[in-house]
Chains A and B, each alone.
Chain A
Amino acid sequence: MNRFFRVVVGCIVFLVLPLALYAQLTIEGKVTDERGDPLAAANVIVRGTRFGAATDAQGSYRIFIPAVPDEVVVEARFLGYKSARQAVSQRSGIVDVSFRLAVDALQMDEIVVTGSSVATEKRQLGNAISTVGAKDLELSASPAIDRALSGKIAGALVQQNSGNPAGGVSVRLRGVSTVLGSADPLYIVDGVIVNNDSPQLIDLGGYAQNRLVDINPYDIDRIEVIKGAAAAAIYGSRANNGVVQIFTKKGVSGSPQISYSTRVQFDELRKRIPYNDYPYNKRFDDPTKVPVTRYDYQDFIFQRGVSTENFLSLSAGAGDTKYYFSGSHTNSEGIVKGGWYERTTARARIEQTLTPWLFASIGANYTYSRSKEVPNGGIFEAYGVMTGWNFSNNSIDPRPVNGVYPSSSVLNRTNPVEAIDRFDFRQQVSRFVGDLHLTLTPFKGFNAEYVLGLDNYTQIGTAYIPPGTTAAGYTLGLSRRGDRDVFQINNDLTARYVFSPIENVQSTTVAGATLQYQKAQNFTAQSTDLTPIVQITPAGANQTLGEFRSEVVIYGIFAQETFGISNRLYLTVAGRFDASSVFGEDNRWQFYPKASMSYLLSEESFWKELSLGDYISSMKLRASWGESGGLTAVGPFDRFTTYASVSYNGKPGLITSTRKGTPDIKPERQREVEVGTDLSFFNDRLGVEFTYYDKFTRDLLLNRTLGPTSAFLNQLQNVGEMTNKGFELLIRAVPVQESWLRWSTTITYSQNRNRVDGVEGGRLGFADGFGQVYAMNGQPLGVFYTTQYARNPDGSLLLTPAGLPQREQVRRDANGQPTGGLLLGIVGDPNPDWQASWINEFEIEKDWNVRMQWDAVWGFDVFNFTRRVAVHPNYGNHADYGRELRGEYPAGYHLALFPILGAFIEDGSFIKLRELSVSYTFSPGFLGIKGARVSLIGRNLLSIDDYSGWDPETNAAGQSTGVRGFDFNEVPIPRSYSLSLTLNL
């Protein structure tokens, strides 16, 4: 043994010895449900300390704590069960503390932090808060968190806009509260405000990834969702769309645990659009018709995509240190040939108790993703596979002859086969998200936490269309590149003090401050007329550059006071002052107040005296009111009147802008009132949450026209209003809890009514809405306003003398035919009347688990623009045009239909079998594998709908706020099957 080694060993002994001397109390035991079955991954903590552990697969746990001066209280918690506490008076040695937890369908004991910024039991909250656990997500077979949330939160409308592997998702919490800004909620991951933009660096036809896709759902431990100003006031100017707070997994005390999951997934087109297989080029009664071969272009475009996903995590906790490391790799082929998405993530979380009063937690996440994109085409660009299909005449064989791809359309559209084979569109993202938490507990009743959150990513998009393709406008080639660099940082300091000023009254005071900074830089380069083979932008002519840089600073300070009276009445008031660089100087500081109450009626003595508990085991009434702000519509520099650069005669120049700056610009302000009740029945086996809300948003930013002699044409002004009213219902029950079967069921139902007001001229069109989509006063956002059928007074169609449908006009002529100019009307509304979900879970003989989730979205319209093009005689690849050729429709019917846009509105209502999984859990008993699970998972297996297109769940405008339900050549959401294996070591 050399000298160096002896020194090292001596040091280790010296360091470890004191720990050994002081580690005197060991608490161990089991956590089971009422049946005596072990509950794995339940949390057991020593109250008032940082010590705790999670149970293993057998429900066992062990906690080591140093000598304690007083009696300690041990508490066991598990989602869906009532928490339980036991006091331990023993000061040293080993003590056995076991728990049997009773079912709690209402989950009132659950601890949440969102909305109050410190851990609070749900029972104290005056507002509804939705939570989703890892267990609810792990069998959803979804590569992105937001997609997996579909149907799991009452009051959240989760819409997948594209069926691409990393296709974008829009989340709307209690409706939309902005017209010009993003309506997606604020996402916070482990205290880091994460960027969820949907950058369209290269035009893929509306489709864009939203950046939440960078977070691996396997790392998620828990998600908390608050949906409006009443709960979110303390998030100030960023809270109008609600807040989704995501917590990732942490290490737990105990020996190292390794978890490995692998999954293989198959994706396929769920439904085909019937194609025109009529074997002649003209109508059956046309003597000049000649035979043609018809092709189903869907054969050339779609494939069965194969995806694999691998995930490994390692976690442990010993002494004062806990850690969690994970890595994952996902590789997904889409259902469109040639497209794929690949993502690699690595995550680390280290928690360290530094002193009894100082605790640190450090998290780091790195994600690298790349994708090969197949552009759809869409509103702004004609190139693309899907538009190529849509505009194709399917009597043309699109496959190449001697290396040359034929033009497959009478219009200048891309041959879709050529687009798949020869276009090269790619994206890549490199992203780091890191956080540091420091928690101080210097004296009883007080704690303070500092959070530093950092989010940085670079996204690069490249697009290449080689010279000599059928791509309209780019027959000489196109090279485009867009780079986006985003840096965000948030500093939050929160302090809490809890004390009891008088008997039976507990006061919780919270105060905090936040500083947030974000910087985004975009750069784009494009050229056309390329040198063959070379793909980079300098290889072409007509080079154009674009750049935009932005910085935003937000300050906030807030304070909140809660009084808990006799553990049954909780009153909270809070306020936040906010300032942001994006607001006009005179409106820089904003104040957002909130107040709420929660009253546990069932805790009153009369409840027990009247034996009401026999019927209703618990009852809580809650009400809250609050204001919040929205700044997604406020551009970083909208307060300024700017000048634009020009060049004239070789000299640099500046000209005035047509848009006047808004020096007094301020956030859109929402006021929400929320009332509700939480009830549980049958000994807490059935829980019901009901919430009614009324959100009113004023100071909505809209564009106003100015008189030209003011030197400007328009200005953004805080002039609009919007309301969202609705209710949410959540029912959770455990109808059967037998030794061989546990059946739990969850039903959510929600409905929302949206209404826009204050739009100048009554109507505002959206640039990405094909001229069909508007914000209109007195109407829900995004109604379809366009040409419509001419109808008789009895509602039947008023046909032309030739017997064809026609557009409505303002008057009737002498023959009763429409005349005098087009009469436009509201023909559809993409906002659903209601939505619901029903989740059933069966645990059979403890080792089998069957889970099924049905989602319904009802009473919304989809604009089927895809169909409008496909039935037009110029393209005519849709079976319905084939039926016209066969004589089942009058000649010219579909041509007559084309200008009647209202004819292409369809009811999109659907009921989908969103998730179905069957899992078998077992203990192989070899290789040290403690537990294993094999699952067969299906996603989007079945849809019950009357929609004629692929899927009513689609949106050509991607994550647009105003344009929803627009079906125009978006890749449909596939049906997925997967087989997964999870091993726990």
Chain B
Amino acid sequence: MKLRLYLMLLAAGVSIGGCGLDIPNPNSPIENQVLTTRDGIFSLAVGLQQFYAGSALETAILATGMTSREVVANSTFLNLIELEQGGTALPPGNGNVLAMWSRHYRVIDMADQLIANAPNVPMADGTRSGILALAYLYKAMALGNLAGAFEQLPLDVQADGKAPFRPRAQALTTAVALCEQARDLLAATPVSTEFTSKILATGFNLTNTIQARLARYSLLAGVYNNDNNLLNKALTAANAVNLTQTSVHPYDARTQNPVFNQFNIKNYAPRDSLGTPLFEPGDARVAFWTSPSTELSNPSRYPIETVKGFFDASTKSIPAFLPGEIRLIRAEVYARLGQTANAVAEINAVRTKQPSADPFGIGANLPAYSGGTTLSDLLTEIYRQRCFELYLQGLRLEDSRRLGRPGPPNLAERNRNFYPYPQSERDNNPNTPADPAN
């Protein structure tokens, strides 16, 4: 009888065996499906570009744009009011600061996943070099954006949540190194047509963007590390950028221009004179970026305009860099290296540019520079040109600090130097440093 019972249980066991416990998820893929397959790696490389263009970039442009007074809040959401007020009114729990921080670390995570796994998945060499270069570049862009807003930051994600923080100057030199890695990889193994047709966003010029970012981060790292070698590196890279070719993040109905959407739902509005006191009458660029309006912002009653430029339609592309930035990088390097004439020549190239001469139609159409030529004078003029040439490119907070503009406790031009670290980072990461005073 015990045998009979045993046999019955055995029979039950056999019938059970037909139904496994490892049921895959048919709704969304998981790590080992994505990171070990060609399709998965290709899709993740597309996703990296999508997430940067559709999510991370918005915070880099608008959060820092609010802090550097390019835009103001135009709704009564508390997080936006806090950001607009800045100073000590900006708490560590602010949602926009958290979004800027967390979205960029997701970009870094996706880039790292590609860097770690693309070499192990079979694919054409030119496709792999393209994917890796893309990953290096996007990681550099994420670190660069973060270094523009935070005083210290982890250089990598860390699964246990205890990533160490490093000074932002180090983040910038890491960005320089990543751009160089990308540049050298593409020089050794040019990208395949498979990469350009299946992965790379149409209109995004990879080599040009790598050089442009290398120039940008070399300049910033050079200034903050006081390193002329890096300044020369910036000059070399800037000279390598083809100024007639554009590079953009494209948008369509399914991944819409996120900055447009934020303006469109009236969370933000551009300020009169692009939000800077340095407006020079006759500058034609103001009309490129905004159209006049007599409106005042809600609730703070700043005079505001209607946004134009790259932000007035849901499918409008946002440039990955602007030609004017490259000239102004050169101008700043020359100025800092004491080559005043070269610096003025670059400034004038920007000041006298006709809109028609610029691939995006940005042109100041101003007379040549006639001001002083001390370093301080030149840097102020470079700052002025950057304000108007590079409006809403996520650069003004960085420029305002670097080029010696008044800052906190004077909140007129920028309401903070650096953001407080997000509360959820502090709650979970013991390495989070003290918040900067302002």
Query: Taking the nearest CB of chain A, how far is it from the CB of B168, in angstroms?
Result: 15
Chain A 648-661, CB-CB to B under 8 Å as 1, else 0, gives 11111111111001
CB of B28 within 8 Å of the partner chain? yes
Q: Do residues B106 and A711 form an inter-chain contact, with CB atoms below 8 A?
A: yes
Query: Taking the nearest CB of chain A, how far is it from the CB of B231, in angstroms?
Result: 31
CB of A641 within 8 Å of the partner chain? yes
Q: List 11 A-B contacts (CB under 8 A).
A: A446-B1, A550-B27, A641-B31, A643-B44, A646-B50, A654-B34, A655-B106, A656-B47, A658-B106, A709-B105, A709-B425
A707 / chain B contacts, CB cutoff of 8 Å = 161, 163, 424-425, 427-429, 432
Question: How many angstroms between the C-alpha atoms of A497 and B4 in the bound complex?
Answer: 12
B13 / chain A contacts, CB cutoff of 8 Å = 513
CB of B202 within 8 Å of the partner chain? yes
Q: Do residues A649 and B201 form an inter-chain contact, with CB atoms below 8 A?
A: yes
> Known: A647-B255, A708-B424. Contact between A513 and B47, CB under 8 A?
no
Question: How many angstroms between the C-alpha atoms of A288 and B1 in the bound complex?
Answer: 96
Query: Taking the nearest CB of chain A, how far is it from the CB of B269, in angstroms?
Result: 25
Q: Do residues B428 and A513 form an inter-chain contact, with CB atoms below 8 A?
A: no
Chain B 4-41, CB-CB to A under 8 Å as 1, else 0, gives 11001101110110011111011111110010000010
A493 / chain B contacts, CB cutoff of 8 Å = 8-9, 11-12
Q: Do residues A549 and B26 form an inter-chain contact, with CB atoms below 8 A?
A: yes
Residue of B1, B54, B154, B161 near A648 (CB, 8 A) is B54
Q: Do residues A654 and B8 form an inter-chain contact, with CB atoms below 8 A?
A: no
Chain A 435-464, CB-CB to B under 8 Å as 1, else 0, gives 000000011001010000000000000000
> Known: A491-B15, A580-B21. Contact between A643 and B26, CB under 8 A?
no
Question: How many angstroms between the C-alpha atoms of A517 and B4 in the bound complex?
Answer: 27
Question: How many angstroms between the C-alpha atoms of A636 and B21 in the bound complex?
Answer: 11
The winner among A515, A548, A652, A653 for most chain B CB atoms within 10 A is: A653
The winner among B4, B46, B108 for most chain A CB atoms within 10 A is: B46
Given contacts A552-B23, A655-B48, A708-B101, 14 further A-B contacts (CB under 8 A): A493-B11, A511-B9, A551-B23, A636-B25, A637-B27, A637-B28, A640-B25, A643-B44, A645-B28, A646-B254, A648-B47, A707-B161, A708-B425, A710-B159
Q: Do residues B15 and A655 form an inter-chain contact, with CB atoms below 8 A?
A: no
Is the interface on chain A under 10, 10 to 19, 20 to 34, or 35 or more residues? 35 or more
A442 / chain B contacts, CB cutoff of 8 Å = 1, 4
CB of A553 within 8 Å of the partner chain? yes
Question: How many angstroms between the C-alpha atoms of A517 and B17 in the bound complex?
Answer: 12
Query: Taking the nearest CB of chain B, how far is it from the CB of A449, in angstroms?
Result: 10
CB of A198 within 8 Å of the partner chain? no
B27 / chain A contacts, CB cutoff of 8 Å = 547-550, 637, 642
Minimal Cβ-Cβ distance residue in B for A710: B161
B108 / chain A contacts, CB cutoff of 8 Å = 711
Q: Do residues B28 and A643 form an inter-chain contact, with CB atoms below 8 A?
A: yes
Query: Taking the nearest CB of chain B, how far is it from the CB of A669, in angstroms?
Result: 19
Question: How many angstroms between the C-alpha atoms of A707 and B22 in the bound complex?
Answer: 30
CB of A495 within 8 Å of the partner chain? yes
The winner among A497, A581, A637, A656 for most chain B CB atoms within 10 A is: A656
Question: How many angstroms between the C-alpha atoms of A649 and B52 in the bound complex?
Answer: 13
CB of A739 within 8 Å of the partner chain? no
Residue of B23, B46, B428 near A706 (CB, 8 A) is B428
Q: Do residues A495 and B8 form an inter-chain contact, with CB atoms below 8 A?
A: yes
> Known: A555-B16, A713-B424. Contact between A641 and B198, CB under 8 A?
no
Residue of B49, B109, B163, B422 near A656 (CB, 8 A) is B109
B429 / chain A contacts, CB cutoff of 8 Å = 707, 709-710
CB of B157 within 8 Å of the partner chain? yes
Minimal Cβ-Cβ distance residue in A for B425: A707
Question: How many angstroms between the C-alpha atoms of A708 and B429 in the bound complex?
Answer: 9
Question: How many angstroms between the C-alpha atoms of A448 and B12 in the bound complex?
Answer: 12
Question: How many angstroms between the C-alpha atoms of A655 and B154 in the bound complex?
Answer: 21
> Known: A446-B1, A493-B12, A713-B102. Contact between A637 and B34, CB under 8 A?
no
Minimal Cβ-Cβ distance residue in A for B198: A651
CB of B262 within 8 Å of the partner chain? no
The winner among A552, A646, A707, A709 for most chain B CB atoms within 10 A is: A709
A653 / chain B contacts, CB cutoff of 8 Å = 43-50
Minimal Cβ-Cβ distance residue in B for A443: B1
Residue of A511, A515, A706, A710 near B15 (CB, 8 A) is A515
B11 / chain A contacts, CB cutoff of 8 Å = 493
Question: How many angstroms between the C-alpha atoms of A653 and B47 in the bound complex?
Answer: 4
CB of A329 within 8 Å of the partner chain? no
> Known: A493-B12, A710-B428. Contact between A642 and B47, CB under 8 A?
no
Residue of B12, B31, B154 near A709 (CB, 8 A) is B154
Question: How many angstroms between the C-alpha atoms of A653 and B1 in the bound complex?
Answer: 61
Chain B 256-269, CB-CB to A under 8 Å as 1, else 0, gives 00000000000000
A647 / chain B contacts, CB cutoff of 8 Å = 50, 252, 254-255
Chain A 736-769 interface residues, beta-carbon cutoff 8 Å to B: none
Q: Do residues A711 and B198 form an inter-chain contact, with CB atoms below 8 A?
A: no
Q: Do residues A711 and B424 form an inter-chain contact, with CB atoms below 8 A?
A: no
Question: How many angstroms between the C-alpha atoms of A511 and B46 in the bound complex?
Answer: 55
> Known: A648-B46, A649-B202. Contact between A642 and B29, CB under 8 A?
yes
Question: How many angstroms between the C-alpha atoms of A446 and B51 in the bound complex?
Answer: 65
Chain A 632-685 interface residues, beta-carbon cutoff 8 Å to B: 636-637, 640-658, 661
Minimal Cβ-Cβ distance residue in A for B99: A708
Question: How many angstroms between the C-alpha atoms of A580 and B22 in the bound complex?
Answer: 9
A552 / chain B contacts, CB cutoff of 8 Å = 23
Q: Do residues A644 and B28 form an inter-chain contact, with CB atoms below 8 A?
A: yes
Query: Taking the nearest CB of chain B, how far is it from the CB of A342, in angstroms?
Result: 34
Query: Taking the nearest CB of chain B, how far is it from the CB of A955, in angstroms?
Result: 30
Query: Taking the nearest CB of chain B, how far is it from the CB of A468, in angstroms?
Result: 26
Q: Do residues B34 and A495 form an inter-chain contact, with CB atoms below 8 A?
A: no
Chain B 56-100, CB-CB to A under 8 Å as 1, else 0, gives 000000000000000000000000000000000000000000100
Minimal Cβ-Cβ distance residue in B for A491: B15
> Known: A513-B9, A643-B34. Contact between A709 and B28, CB under 8 A?
no
Q: Do residues A643 and B161 form an inter-chain contact, with CB atoms below 8 A?
A: no
Q: Do residues B424 and A513 form an inter-chain contact, with CB atoms below 8 A?
A: no
Q: Do residues A708 and B427 form an inter-chain contact, with CB atoms below 8 A?
A: no
Query: Taking the nearest CB of chain B, how far is it from the CB of A922, in angstroms?
Result: 52
Chain A 562-580, CB-CB to B under 8 Å as 1, else 0, gives 0000000000000000011
CB of B364 within 8 Å of the partner chain? no
Chain A 686-711, CB-CB to B under 8 Å as 1, else 0, gives 00000000000000000001111111
A654 / chain B contacts, CB cutoff of 8 Å = 29, 34, 40, 43-44, 46-47
Q: Do residues B254 and A656 form an inter-chain contact, with CB atoms below 8 A?
A: no
B54 / chain A contacts, CB cutoff of 8 Å = 646, 648
Q: Do residues A711 and B109 form an inter-chain contact, with CB atoms below 8 A?
A: yes
Question: How many angstroms between the C-alpha atoms of A646 and B52 in the bound complex?
Answer: 12
Q: Do residues A710 and B21 form an inter-chain contact, with CB atoms below 8 A?
A: no
Question: How many angstroms between the C-alpha atoms of A640 and B43 in the bound complex?
Answer: 19
6 pairs of A and B residues whose beta carbons are closest in the complex = A653-B46, A707-B428, A648-B50, A708-B102, A711-B109, A653-B47
Question: How many angstroms between the C-alpha atoms of A710 and B108 in the bound complex?
Answer: 11
Question: How many angstroms between the C-alpha atoms of A553 and B29 in the bound complex?
Answer: 20
Minimal Cβ-Cβ distance residue in A for B163: A709
Q: Do residues A515 and B424 form an inter-chain contact, with CB atoms below 8 A?
A: no
Query: Taking the nearest CB of chain A, how far is it from the CB of B18, in angstroms?
Result: 9
Residue of A513, A553, A646, A711 near B21 (CB, 8 A) is A553
Q: Do residues B28 and A646 form an inter-chain contact, with CB atoms below 8 A?
A: no
A495 / chain B contacts, CB cutoff of 8 Å = 5, 8-9
CB of A588 within 8 Å of the partner chain? yes
> Known: A495-B8, A555-B16. Contact between A581 and B46, CB under 8 A?
no
B425 / chain A contacts, CB cutoff of 8 Å = 707-709
Question: How many angstroms between the C-alpha atoms of A557 and B108 in the bound complex?
Answer: 46
B101 / chain A contacts, CB cutoff of 8 Å = 708
Chain B 386-438 interface residues, beta-carbon cutoff 8 Å to A: 422, 424-425, 427-429, 432
Residue of A513, A581, A642, A643 near B22 (CB, 8 A) is A581
CB of B53 within 8 Å of the partner chain? yes
B148 / chain A contacts, CB cutoff of 8 Å = none
Question: How many angstroms between the C-alpha atoms of A657 and B254 in the bound complex?
Answer: 18
Chain A 707-729 interface residues, beta-carbon cutoff 8 Å to B: 707-711, 713
